[in-house]
Chains A and B, each alone.
Chain A
Amino acid sequence: MTAFGKLIRTTAFRLTLVYLFLFAMFAASLLAYFAWNTRRLITEEITQTVNVETAEINDIYIRRGLFGLARAIEYRALRPGANLYLVTTPSGQAIAGNVGQLAPGVMAIAGWSETAYRRMEDADERDHRALVRVTELPNGFRLLIGRDLDERRRLFGIVAKAAQWSILIVVVLGLGGGVFVARRVLTRIDAMSGTAHRIMTGDLSERLPVGRSGDELDRLAENLNAMLERIEALMAGLKEVSDNIAHDLKTPLTRLRNRAEEALAKSGCEADYRAALERTIEESDGLIRTFNALLMIARAESGQARGNMDDFDAADVAEGIHELYEPLAEDDGMTLKVKTQTAPIHGNRELISQALANLVENAIKYGKPGSEPAGTVVSMDSRQITIEAKREGDQVLLSVTDRGPGIPEADRKHVVERFVRLEASRTMPGSGLGLSLASAVATLHGGELRLGDAQPGLVATLVLPARAGAGDRVAPPIPDVPQKVA
């Protein structure tokens, strides 16, 4: 595409053309209106002057007769810029006035008419036009009084010229401005698409140029840059995840392989082989679990699990998970409690249950009070885990609170990432995917996983949007009403 072709194809240029047309039309109609009105005004003025004079002359005639009339006419006709006068006899002979020639038949019709004429003293041979009024005097004489229309014509000419010029100026300025704006936009857009092209070819660190004017293009560039930032972060995340997957899947696979090799190499009894095989199965079960968790996260993140959503009460989920994990917690020396109020929600029940289960498993695994200095009295409370479901405004909060060491604030964002396990927990069994899944499930439902400080301990909360419309039926929580505590 040529530079010019590109230019005239820009939105700015096309808009300019449209506005240009509109403005030209506007200017033309304004001038036309002006011209027409001026013309009307001049005509009115002439009519009035002629009417007044006709009345005066008539008056003179009545008072002083034909002679007085002729004298008055001669006198008036000699004044500079005089009107047109003509008095004729009934037979059509001119007896006084300054009109030399007149279009034939004008004198015959009484009243107003527009006619061509020549002045007596005029040297040029040109016809002029005039607006005249013919009246019949009582004795059959005819009186013509009129005024030249040159003034009107000249004025009209001026207006017409003004119209030409103004339209010309509008067009020139408009086109110039359009080209200027279009070129300005075009250079910036070209710069942006050039950068976009470089980014597409692989350089994700490149950013669009942002000007200082803060106009719409700058804002667009800023937003695109923010988007690029996000894409770059996602790509980096993806890379990290694939590295982590490689690491976290390869490690158990290597262990598995080593074990099988070792069992093969050593000539042992059947019991040895059996033990090796059992551990192999265990290890592969762990791998399968990791795989399933990864797939589940991927599904939740890609939004595929949106198909199986229905309406339910998050309180039921909390109670169900409490019921399932209560014995396990007790076996581990912890107390698992549940506190619920009605919390209507629309979502994937299975996924939300699993997310909550993960949080509870984490609390049981990591929520034990840290090593207390000798002699400290460990309160009963410090081994308590609480599952809570409640509604807060248009949100449903499903939280698990433990009294363990908690997670340092700096690490909280980090632990949600796939396979991330804090140093302190590296030695514990687990895939490092529990929080990632919980977070992905919350995101899928348009919510988030919030990790906070329970002072001491960790409070992990699935913040989910409450079911729309359900609020009208649910009474706001009243603190005095005893809550169900298991």
Chain B
Amino acid sequence: MTAAERTMRLLIIEDDRESADYLVKAFREVGHIADHAGDGEEGLAMAENGDYDVLVVDRMLPKRDGLSLIGALRDKGDTTPVLILSALGQVDDRIKGLRAGGDDYLPKPYSFAELLARVEVLSRRRGGPVEDTLYRVGDLELDRLSHRVARGKDELTLQPREFRLLEYLMKHAGQVVTRTMLLENVWDYHFDPQTNVIDVHISRLRSKIDKGFERPLLHTIRGAGYMIRDGIR
């Protein structure tokens, strides 16, 4: 895992000591600052006082459950992005979580790569630049208004879905985007396909934007997902 570009302050509210320790350690290893709260009340108090970039909240917590904690924060006008972790992975639970004020929802068991990618996207969203109309990575340009895509001097023709896929990747340029995130945000499906269906779409997109160019922009991040960025770090 590469070191984070920007250090994030995270609060992990999780009652299972072992998972919490694992998360704190894993986030610290990639260069973020992570605090831990063991129950809902403590978590709420810490979230109100500390200035966190993202809260990672377990849904089922002692003293105050995750959804009520988020509700209490939102009632006080706190807009810190929240990612809900839950053993209840079903679609309706996800919708419940998002309705309660959560910004993203990840069912357990999850991979750390997936969690990290989502948390980074959430933190970037906070106070990030207002939706640009023009995305640029290296010499690749995407105009969201005219739906024009060009690499260098070459105009590229993309299918509508390929355009949305590239748009999402470029919006999060420099960040890892997982397959599930793509399926959720580009296709709006929340199920788990048994096949590598996303990879095929990516490889089609890649053949359009990278083929014949010296410097590839769309990278596969092993064990995690994809990232669009200029140059190799």
Contacts and interface: CB of A to CB of B under 8 A. Distances in A.
A357 interface: yes
A57 B190 CA distance: 117
B187 A308 contact: no
Contacts of A429: 194
A361 B201 contact: no
A354 B204 contact: no
Interface string B97-115: 0000000000101010000
A289 B195 contact: no
Contacts of A431: 194
B154 interface: no
A324 B189 contact: yes
Nearest to A300: B90
Contacts of B111: 281, 285
A45 interface: no
Contacts of B75: none
Contacts of B195: 328, 361, 364-365
Contacts of B196: 328
B90 A289 contact: no
Interface in A316-373: 320, 323-325, 327-328, 331, 348, 350-351, 353-354, 357-358, 361, 364-365
A332 B196 CA distance: 12
Interface stretch (A65-73, A131-139, A291-299, A395-403): A291-299
B191 A324 contact: no
A430 interface: yes
B194 A320 contact: no
A348 B191 CA distance: 13
Interface in A257-303: 278, 281, 284-285, 288-289, 292, 295-296, 299
A174 interface: no
A305 B90 contact: yes
A389 to B, nearest CB: 17
A307 interface: yes
Interface in B145-177: 161
Contact of B189 (A296, A305, A350, A358): A350
Contacts of B192: 289, 292
Contacts of B221: none
A178 interface: no
Contacts of B92: 304-305, 307-308
A434 interface: yes
A361 B193 contact: yes
Interface in B180-201: 187, 189-197, 200-201
B69 to A, nearest CB: 23
Interface string A416-448: 000000000000011100100000000000000
Given A281-B111, A328-B195, A292 B200 contact: no
B45 interface: no
A353 to B, nearest CB: 6
A434 B193 CA distance: 10
Given A281-B111, A327-B201, A353 B90 contact: no
Contacts of A295: 89-90
B194 A289 contact: yes
Contacts of B90: 295-296, 299, 305
A296 B190 CA distance: 12
A327 B204 contact: yes
Contacts of B223: 278, 281
A307 B187 CA distance: 22
B194 A361 contact: yes
A320 B95 CA distance: 21
Contact of A308 (B91, B109, B201): B91
Contacts of A361: 193-195
Contacts of A434: 194
Contacts of B109: 284, 288
Contact of B200 (A288, A299, A327): A327
A305 B223 CA distance: 32
A354 B191 contact: yes
A308 B197 contact: no
A324 B196 CA distance: 11
Contact of A357 (B95, B193, B204): B193
Interface of B: 89-92, 95, 107, 109, 111, 161, 187, 189-197, 200-201, 204, 223
Given A295-B89, A305-B92, 17 more contacts: A278-B223, A285-B111, A289-B194, A292-B89, A295-B90, A296-B191, A305-B90, A320-B187, A324-B193, A327-B204, A328-B196, A350-B189, A353-B189, A353-B191, A354-B189, A357-B189, A434-B194
Leading 10 A-B pairs by shortest Cβ distance: A354-B191, A327-B200, A328-B200, A350-B91, A328-B197, A308-B92, A331-B200, A307-B92, A327-B204, A361-B195
Interface of A: 278, 281, 284-285, 288-289, 292, 295-296, 299, 304-305, 307-308, 320, 323-325, 327-328, 331, 348, 350-351, 353-354, 357-358, 361, 364-365, 429-431, 434
16 contacts: A284-B109, A292-B192, A295-B89, A305-B91, A307-B92, A308-B92, A320-B189, A324-B189, A327-B197, A328-B195, A350-B189, A350-B191, A351-B91, A353-B191, A361-B194, A434-B194
